[in-house]
Structure 1
Amino acid sequence: MTIDGLLVYVLFAVGLALIGFGAGWFVDAAVNISKRYGIPKAVIGATIVSFATTAPEFLVSFMAALNGQPDMAIGNAVGSTICNIGIAIGFIVMLKTVVVDDKSFNIKALLMLLAGGVLFLLSWIGGDITKTDGLILLVIFVVYIAYTYWDQKKEPKKPEDDAPAPRTGIWAKIKIKDSYLDVLMFLVGAIFVVGGSRLVVTNGTEIATQLGIPELIISLTLISIGTSLPEIITAITSFRKGYQDLSVGNIVGANILDITMILGVSAMFVDLPVNGQLLRYDFVVMMLLFVLVAFFGYRKKITRWQGALIALVYVVYLVGLFVYVPSLGA
């Protein structure tokens, strides 16, 4: 392999690292800035944090759509939902049974099923995701945000809700006023996510070309896992702190945004042709995982064997991408 060929992989890895670091800083800074200006917790949770945690997926798919790469745009969004459930729920719940205490879980799960079902139906009927389709997806997005705001507004307010998070890591060593530091973190985090997304899209495409692997498969695997790092890391952190039920709710919310906000906004700028593989394979697996999570969560508990089943479906899906999918054609 030439130096230029190796550089592509290095830049791809750098892009994923930038996304991972930048997304965390972006979220923390956005929340702190909101709290300093007295924005209610319900608004923060329903809008700022929700958007920030899906910023990597959004920017990668949006840039790919504008670059005329619909396979990468749709593949990253759909692949992220599959990855979120397979890794952040399946493999983690295998370690310990999770009790789903979130009272709003059932409504969110229904909205996730609705979003996935509408995407599947619109794509099957038209063969692509048009501006009209994008508008329909955005309506579901607005409904979800409105419901989340209403649901969080019912929660009793705690004194610590208004307290900005303490400085950590490299930011603890920077001696400037906290309010200025939040703005700096926000800007640096945003730059890292945008720059990292650009590197991932550009070099991910080149890697697919070098390996002779379809761009769609690269998007459904490497890129979707990379852009899902914030959700995966959040789930792991929640598990280690004993808040496994929080990770399940976060994943369901992230999946709704991946479909409605990312593909909805992207389709408003350019029509997105849907690859035949997506319709006959990836969408089917996505809906299967949505149904499993909704059914298991409805029973207020996701057991270790259920987590193992979800993880198994994800592993079989990955194997199928390289064994079964090539026979489908486009």
Structure 2
Amino acid sequence: MSIVFIIAGLALLVVGGEFLVRAAIGLSFKLKLSKMIIGLTVVSFATSAPELLVSIQAALDGFSDISLGNVIGSNIANIGLVLGITAIITPLTIDKDFYKFNWPVMMILSVALYFILSSGNEISQIEGVALLFILAIYLYLLIRRARRKPVSEVAIVDEVDDALATVSNFKIGIWLLIGAVALYFGSTLLVDGAVDLATMLGVSERVIAVTMIAIGTSVPELAASVIAALKKEKALSLGNLIGSNIFNIASVLGITALIQPIVVNSSEILTSDIWWMLGFSAVLIPLAFIPKRFEIGRVKGFLLVLAYSAFISTAFLN
């Protein structure tokens, strides 16, 4: 039944997340927000909702390792799995925003997370506020930089469907209700299933969180990226993928800590998992410039997937 709960939970999270994104975009149009602002902020927050609900539910239930493992594992999966597989299908071009803006912010937040966790073995409410403050600065700079570019260069705008501008208030309300209910029950089922499966396999909740849950919450992004790659579309930019990692740390952990402080229960989070996350994040710079500059091709993608397989193996073997 544990596997059934996990699959059902993930399915509900995907459905709930999709309805919430549609409702959020429709509501944003009603509030007269520009398409660019919606794409850079509202969509990013809404797509982080499944991870957020899982982390909050786990923290409230006393399983903080699932909250941390979900975010750390998702960040590793975004680079090792999503980026790796997509690059194997079609080489990805790297723009200057990657190493001038997005990557430095991601590394600062990743290193800050390590020091926050190692200094007190928890993310307190004050530290949660600090993470959200950093996110606010990041969003301000992100919007400011985007306004300086031609609209055609802002790739994330393509995620906003113009048809949602004419959606009725009633339909938005129904979508919000469906999204909220699906996310709530999905997160509950996923956390319960993960705890039961960990007990049955004789491993910690952390192992299930950094592997199965992290992969599960990354499936929608992986599917979208693979479809875009197969169609030879440049829908996935490295900057947007790194932006997802920034939101995971700053918004998901920040908001969760604000509601319930996140405690480190498993020492492996600090001795293993977070170092894997830092390693996957740091290696992007040499991959971006060596040997072929400004491109992550098939060989580099294969190396990322290989490294991710090593991470998964190590998590279970330890």
Q: Which consecutive residues of structure 1, in runs of 5 or more, have no partner in the other structure?
A: 1-5, 168-175, 326-330
Q: Is 1:12 aligned with 2:6? A: yes
Equivalenced residue count is: 309
User: Please, which of 204, 229, 233 is the counterpart of residue 243 of structure 1?
Assistant: 233
Aligned match of 1:93: 87
Structural RMSD (CA): 2.5
Contact 1:141 1:261 in 2 (8 A): yes
Q: Is 1:45 aligned with 2:35? A: no
Deviates more, 1:267-276 or 1:61-70: 267-276
Aligned match of 1:208: 198
Aligned amino acid, residue 124 of structure 2: T
Give how far 1:58 is off. 0.8
Deviates more, 1:55-64 or 1:30-39: 30-39
Matches for 1:51-66 after TM superposition, within 5 Å: 51-66=45-60
Task: Determine the C-alpha separation between the residues in 2 that align with 1:265 and 1:318.
Answer: 27
Give how far 1:47 is off. 2.0
Matches for 1:155-304 after TM superposition, within 5 Å: 155-157=149-151, 164-165=162-163, 178-244=168-234, 246-274=236-264, 275-297=266-288, 299-304=293-298
Task: Determine the C-alpha separation between the residues in 1 that align with 2:96 and 2:161.
Answer: 24
Task: Determine the C-alpha separation between the residues in 1 that align with 2:27 and 2:221.
Answer: 21
Give how far 1:178 is off. 4.9
Give how far 1:68 is off. 1.4
Classify 1:182/1:279 alpha carbon distance in 2 versus 1 (closer, same or farther; 3 Å).
Answer: same
Task: Determine the C-alpha separation between the residues in 1 that align with 2:227 and 2:148.
Answer: 26
Classify 1:193/1:233 alpha carbon distance in 2 versus 1 (closer, same or farther; 3 Å).
Answer: farther
Classify 1:87/1:13 alpha carbon distance in 2 versus 1 (closer, same or farther; 3 Å).
Answer: same
Aligned match of 1:3: none
Contact 2:90 2:232 in 1 (8 A): no
Classify 1:294/1:60 alpha carbon distance in 2 versus 1 (closer, same or farther; 3 Å).
Answer: farther
Task: Determine the C-alpha separation between the residues in 2 that align with 1:26 and 1:294.
Answer: 34
Give how far 1:69 is off. 1.1
Give how far 1:109 is off. 0.8
Contact 1:33 1:183 in 2 (8 A): no
Moved over 4 A (4+): 160-163, 176-179
Q: What TM-score, normalized by structure 2, do the two folds share?
A: 0.88
Task: Determine the C-alpha separation between the residues in 1 that align with 2:107 and 2:53.
Answer: 24
Q: What TM-score, normalized by structure 1, do the two folds share?
A: 0.85
Task: Determine the C-alpha separation between the residues in 1 that align with 2:98 and 2:13.
Answer: 30
Contact 2:89 2:230 in 1 (8 A): no
Contact 1:238 1:247 in 2 (8 A): no
Task: Determine the C-alpha separation between the residues in 2 that align with 1:163 and 1:12.
Answer: 31
Classify 1:241/1:28 alpha carbon distance in 2 versus 1 (closer, same or farther; 3 Å).
Answer: farther
Q: Is 1:30 aligned with 2:24? A: yes
Task: Determine the C-alpha separation between the residues in 1 that align with 2:269 and 2:127.
Answer: 17
Give how far 1:302 is off. 0.9
User: Please, which of 114, 125, 128 is the counterpart of residue 131 of structure 1?
Assistant: 125
Task: Determine the C-alpha separation between the residues in 2 that align with 1:263 and 1:150.
Answer: 25
Aligned amino acid, residue 242 of structure 2: V
Deviates more, 1:62-71 or 1:232-241: 232-241
Task: Determine the C-alpha separation between the residues in 2 that align with 1:91 and 1:18.
Answer: 25
